[in-house]
């Protein structure tokens, strides 16, 4: 409990005045012996217990009444959201989710989830802790602890501004745990401000159990989870999937593929809604009137004519304004198409002939495709800057090997790496994942894929919602996957036998913020040969998997690149300082202060550096409507001292509410009870009086 006027608590000893007056009154009485009173004294002994209890209750209610009026005057803060029993802690750590989904706003006030949460948190910390606690901020974009002098400064810091990035809540929790351990913070309150996006919390990952164990070993740690899980049912989002500059003898044009989605399904309707989609190329705007029906609209091959002399440029696709501004815009850059180059590293080219054939077959007629097959001894010949996909069918190289460092740089540059199981695997791991032993399916019937992820990744459904025939893939021989010690298990994308991973993606390693802008590392546990699987026989799944892995890295080739907004996406500090935002490519940030260079990689828009163009967009995971339920959230913090505060943007109640009315009611109740006990007992007529004879009637 905290007080807005704590100085008035110095008057609390006045609550003892009724007791003092009572004691003084006892000493002022004089005892005079009187023989006639002996019978009354004897009768009073029979009621002494009740009289004493009544007397002490009257005194207690008088003390409570005076104490309550003093506490009312001190304006107490407690209960409601904060419930700060036990006083202010030594340290308050604020874990702030700055992901793009936190920018959903109340259209009436323009206040976003992030801004509303910060405002309430600022008022609550200021009023409840009254400057007695050290405040530390850890935001999801930088992940760096920052000490705050005054809570009012929270909203003005660049570390609390809006971003178009994703969040990694387990990484924030780990940062708080490391800070507590390194600084011995004493009693600590940890405030988590988030919208409970499932992709941000990664509840199914393997990092939560170590986190729970780490916090359980500390004393005096309390968690307050301030959540804004509400979604806007009328929100529309746009995501681009392809941009190509195409030129013929007669004309030049930019060809776009993009999807418009309603994350939360709306009411079914047979009537199409006309949706104006604004298209901007190098500052010149046009409007496409699309018919939006149901909850999804896919526009493929929309061509925008450009001048033939315009070889490269930038643009964006915009939806009409709604409550969530970040997902209404998709930025793009274009250049003369780069060659979609793949490299296969193998000692057995014949075994990977189906892979080579699939990658050489063009999936996009406007692109050129090139496939190179090399042995592991010729890795130095790879043109890493021009290569989008590397298929590695050889033992994993040792970490200090030049090939391992080149593969790591390849992934860090936003490219894709696909490992296939070699006959002799060795013991080395890449990003915490190594090959296990070969497994053979017993019996005459092969194993079928029992589960696969169809919402995202290389095995996702097609653009029209149809599922790939992954469930028909037969597997006769595969290698198990073995996570290295101290590393998180891989993220399964397909399983056989319900538990054995067939396709997996490595979990993020090291700096989670930097890994968000990196490419992908996949492990496919079987080969396309007939002795191992049916991937080559059916072909559809293998073709889709390889070309989606290739397409995911195409945006990192050439001088015009598509990337996701994330820290480190512009390179190191020296390189990042050379990038500039094209002022006309995106509206100015909503902050009043100038945009520092550190914010550039965190906001969507178009950046330029020398002859390079870079389009930054929010991660696709930020458009997913799935939110963590309060029950699932409670399971993540089981065994810890926590409370869940589910708030709404339109709710104007303060986190720290004044409860002086409670003490006022307490004072009134104490006075009423004291008055009832002080009332004299009701007089009862004696039997002699009631039985007195009536006067005789007068004589006749």
Three-state SS string across 523-578, please? Answer: EECCCCCCCCECHHHHCHHHHHHHHHHHHHHHCCCCCEEEEECCCCCCCCHHHHCC
pLDDT digits (tens, 9 = 90+) for 351-365: 999 999 999 999 888
Q: Which of 317, 325, 260 is nearest to 114 (CA)?
A: 325
Interval 80-86 mean pLDDT: 43
- Cα(165)–Cα(100) distance, rounded to whole angstroms? 6
Give yes or no for a contact between 220 and 637, defined as CB atoms under 8 angstroms apart. no
pLDDT digits (tens, 9 = 90+) for 575-628: 888 899 886 655 444 444 556 778 889 999 999 998 899 999 999 889 888 899
- The pLDDT score that the predictor gives to residue 132 is 81
- The pLDDT score that the predictor gives to residue 82 is 40
Q: What is the DSSP string of 239-283?
A: EEEEEEEEE-SS-EEEEEEEEEE-SS-----SSPEEEEEEEEETT
In this predicted model, which residue has the larger pLDDT, 629 or 75? 629
pLDDT digits (tens, 9 = 90+) for 639-651: 999 988 888 766 6
Interval 88-94 mean pLDDT: 90
- The pLDDT score that the predictor gives to residue 700 is 47
CA dihedral 308, 310, 315, 319 (to 10 degrees): -20
pLDDT digits (tens, 9 = 90+) for 178-209: 999 999 999 999 999 999 999 999 898 778 99
- The pLDDT score that the predictor gives to residue 214 is 95
Residue-range domain boundaries for the chain = 2-78+660-678, 91-231+625-646, 237-336+559-587+595-623, 340-554
pLDDT digits (tens, 9 = 90+) for 63-76: 887 877 777 776 56
Question: Tokens standing for 387?
Answer: 């290569």
Give yes or no for a contact between 511 and 568, defined as CB atoms under 8 angstroms apart. yes
| Residues in CB range of 9: below 8 A, 6 or more apart | 3, 70, 71, 74
pLDDT digits (tens, 9 = 90+) for 476-485: 999 999 888 7
Interval 482-507 mean pLDDT: 87
- Cα(381)–Cα(404) distance, rounded to whole angstroms? 14
- The pLDDT score that the predictor gives to residue 558 is 83
| Residues in CB range of 302: below 8 A, 6 or more apart | 255, 256, 257, 258, 288
Interval 458-463 mean pLDDT: 88
Give yes or no for a contact between 407 and 519, defined as CB atoms under 8 angstroms apart. no
- The pLDDT score that the predictor gives to residue 614 is 92
In this predicted model, which residue has the larger pLDDT, 71 or 346? 346
pLDDT digits (tens, 9 = 90+) for 142-160: 999 999 988 888 888 889 9
Three-state secondary structure string covering 612-633: EEEEEECCHHHHCCCECCHHHH
Indicate the pLDDT class of residue 285, thresholds 50, 70 and 90: very high
User: For residue 38, what is the DSSP state?
Assistant: H
- Cα(60)–Cα(595) distance, rounded to whole angstroms? 62
**Strand pairing category for 76-77 and 134-139:** unpaired
In this predicted model, which residue has the larger pLDDT, 440 or 656? 440
Is 340-554 the same fold as 91-231+625-646?
Answer: yes
- Cα(243)–Cα(299) distance, rounded to whole angstroms? 12
- Cα(91)–Cα(133) distance, rounded to whole angstroms? 5
| Residues in CB range of 442: below 8 A, 6 or more apart | none
Q: Which CATH fold would you assign to the domain 340-554?
A: Rossmann fold (3.40.50)
Query: Within 13 Å of residue 553, how many CA atoms lie on the same side as its CB?
Result: 30
Interval 388-407 mean pLDDT: 94
| Average of per-residue pLDDT values in the chain | 84
- The pLDDT score that the predictor gives to residue 661 is 63
In this predicted model, which residue has the larger pLDDT, 56 or 166? 166
Q: H helices then E strands: how many in the chain?
A: 16, 31
Q: For residue 524, is pLDDT > 90?
A: yes
| Residues in CB range of 147: below 8 A, 6 or more apart | 134, 135, 136, 137
Query: Within 13 Å of residue 357, how many CA atoms lie on the same side as its CB?
Result: 12
* Dihedral sign, Cα of residue 548, residue 551, residue 552, residue 553: positive
In this predicted model, which residue has the larger pLDDT, 304 or 129? 304
**Domain 91-231+625-646, architecture per CATH:** 3-Layer(aba) Sandwich (3.40)
Q: For residue 540, is pLDDT > 90?
A: yes
């Amino acid at each position: 409990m905290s007080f807005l006027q704590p100085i008035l608590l110095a008057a609390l000893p006045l609550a003892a005045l009724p007791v003092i007056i009572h004691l003084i009154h006892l000493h002022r009485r004089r005892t005079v012996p009187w023989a006639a009173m002996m019978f009354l004294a004897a009768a009073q002994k029979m009621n002494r217990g009740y009289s004493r209890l009544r007397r002490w209750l009257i005194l207690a209610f008088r003390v409570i009444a005076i104490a309550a009026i003093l506490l009312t005057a001190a304006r107490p803060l407690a209960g409601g959201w904060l419930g700060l029993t036990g006083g202010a802690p030594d340290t308050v750590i604020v874990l702030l989710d700055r992901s793009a989904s936190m920018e959903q706003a109340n259209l009436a006030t323009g206040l976003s989830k992030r801004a509303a949460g910060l405002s309430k948190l600022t008022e609550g910390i200021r009023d409840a802790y009254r400057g007695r606690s050290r405040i530390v901020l850890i935001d999801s974009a930088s992940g760096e602890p920052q000490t705050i002098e005054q809570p009012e400064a929270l909203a003005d810091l660049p570390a609390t501004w809006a971003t178009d990035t994703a969040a990694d809540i387990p990484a924030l929790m780990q940062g708080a745990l490391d800070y507590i351990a390194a600084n011995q913070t004493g009693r600590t309150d940890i405030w988590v401000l988030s919208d409970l996006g499932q992709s941000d919390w990664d509840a199914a990952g393997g990092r939560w159990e170590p986190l729970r164990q780490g916090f359980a070993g500390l004393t005096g740690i309390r968690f307050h989870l301030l959540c804004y899980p509400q979604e806007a049912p009328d929100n529309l989002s746009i995501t681009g999937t392809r941009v190509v500059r195409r030129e013929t003898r007669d004309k030049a044009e930019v060809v776009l593929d993009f999807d418009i989605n309603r994350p939360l399904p709306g009411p079914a309707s047979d009537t199409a809604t006309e949706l104006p989609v604004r298209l901007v190329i190098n500052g010149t705007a046009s409007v496409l009137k699309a018919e939006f029906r149901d909850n999804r609209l896919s526009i493929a091959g929309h061509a925008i004519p450009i001048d033939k002399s315009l070889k490269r440029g930038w643009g964006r696709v915009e939806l009409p304004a709604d409550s969530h501004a970040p997902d209404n815009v998709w930025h793009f850059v274009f250049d003369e198409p780069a060659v979609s180059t793949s490299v296969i590293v193998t000692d057995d080219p014949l075994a990977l002939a189906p892979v080579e054939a699939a990658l050489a077959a063009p999936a996009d007629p406007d692109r050129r495709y090139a496939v190179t097959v090399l042995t592991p001894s010729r890795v130095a010949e790879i043109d890493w800057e021009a290569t989008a996909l590397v298929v590695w069918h050889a033992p994993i190289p040792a970490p200090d090997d030049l090939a391992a460092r080149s593969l790591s740089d390849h992934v860090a540059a936003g490219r894709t790496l696909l490992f296939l199981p070699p006959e002799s695997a060795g013991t080395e791991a890449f990003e915490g994942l190594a090959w296990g032993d070969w497994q053979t399916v017993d019996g005459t019937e092969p194993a079928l894929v029992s589960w696969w992820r169809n919402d995202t990744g290389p095995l996702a459904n097609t653009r029209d919602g149809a599922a790939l025939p992954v469930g028909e893939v037969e597997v006769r021989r595969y290698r198990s996957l073995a996570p290295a010690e101290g590393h998180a298990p891989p993220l399964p994308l397909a399983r056989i036998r319900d538990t054995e991973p067939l396709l997996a993606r490595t979990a993020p390693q090291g700096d989670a913020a930097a890994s968000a802008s990196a490419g992908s590392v996949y492990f496919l546990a079987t080969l396309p040969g007939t002795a191992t699987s049916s991937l080559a026989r059916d072909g559809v799944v293998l073709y889709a998997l390889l070309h989606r892995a290739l397409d995911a890295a195409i945006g990192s080739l050439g001088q015009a690149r598509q990337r996701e907004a994330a820290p480190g996406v512009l390179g190191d500090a020296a390189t990042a300082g050379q990038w500039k935002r094209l002022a006309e490519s995106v509206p100015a940030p909503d902050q009043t202060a100038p945009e520092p260079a550190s914010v550039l990689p965190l906001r969507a828009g178009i950046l330029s550096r020398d002859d390079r163009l870079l389009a930054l967009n929010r991660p696709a995971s930020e458009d997913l409507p799935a939110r963590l339920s309060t029950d699932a959230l409670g399971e993540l913090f089981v065994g810890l001292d926590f409370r869940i505060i589910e708030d709404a943007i339109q709710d104007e109640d303060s986190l720290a509410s004044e409860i002086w009315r409670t003490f006022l009611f307490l004072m009134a109740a104490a006075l009423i009870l004291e008055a009832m006990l002080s009332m004299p007992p009701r007089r009862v007529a004696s039997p002699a009086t009631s039985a007195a004879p009536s006067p005789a009637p007068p004589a006749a």
